[in-house]
Amino acid sequence: MSDLAAFVRGLPKAELHLHLEGTLEPELKFRLAQRNGIELAEKTVDEVKQTYRFHDLTSFLQVYYPAMRVLLEPADFHDLAFDYLTRAHAQGIRHVEMFFDPQAHTGRGVPFATVLDGYRSAIVRARREFGISAELILCFLRDYSAEYAMATLLEALPYRDWIIGVGLDSDERGNPPSKFAAVFARARREGFLLTMHCDIDQPDSIEHIRQALEDIGVDRLDHGTNIVEDDRLVELAKAKGIGLTCCPVSNSFVTSQMKSDEIVGLLARGLTVTVNSDDPAYFGAYAGDNYLALAEHAGLDLDQLVALAKNSFRASWITPARLDLFLREIDDYVAANRQDAGARAQD
Does residue 289 have a known ligand-binding role?
no
Q: State how far the Cα of 167 lies from the Cα of 153, in Å rounded to an integer.
A: 11
Q: State how far the Cα of 330 lies from the Cα of 326, in Å rounded to an integer.
A: 6
Does residue 56 have a known ligand-binding role?
no
Cβ count near 321 (within 10 Å): 8
Q: State how far the Cα of 140 lies from the Cα of 272, in Å rounded to an integer.
A: 24
Does residue 143 have a known ligand-binding role?
no
Chain centroid to Cα 254, Å, comes to 15
Q: What is the 3-state secondary structure (H, E, C) of 250-305?
A: HHHHHCCCCCHHHHHHHHHCCCEEEECCECHHHHCCCHHHHHHHHHHHHCCCHHHH
Cβ count near 299 (within 10 Å): 11
Length of the chain: 347
Q: State how far the Cα of 255 lies from the Cα of 56, in Å rounded to an integer.
A: 6
Q: Kindly write down the DSSP assignment for every residue of 161-199, as one continuous string.
A: GGEEEEEEES--TT--GGGGHHHHHHHHHTT-EE--EE-
One-letter amino acid for residue 96 of the chain = V
- Tell me the three state secondary structure of residue 96: strand
Cβ count near 54 (within 10 Å): 17
Sign of the Cα torsion 313, 315, 316, 318 reads positive
Annotated binding site: 17, 19, 197, 278-279
Q: Which residues are annotated as a binding site for substrate?
A: 279
Q: Which residues contribute to the annotated binding site for Zn(2+)?
A: 17, 19, 197, 278
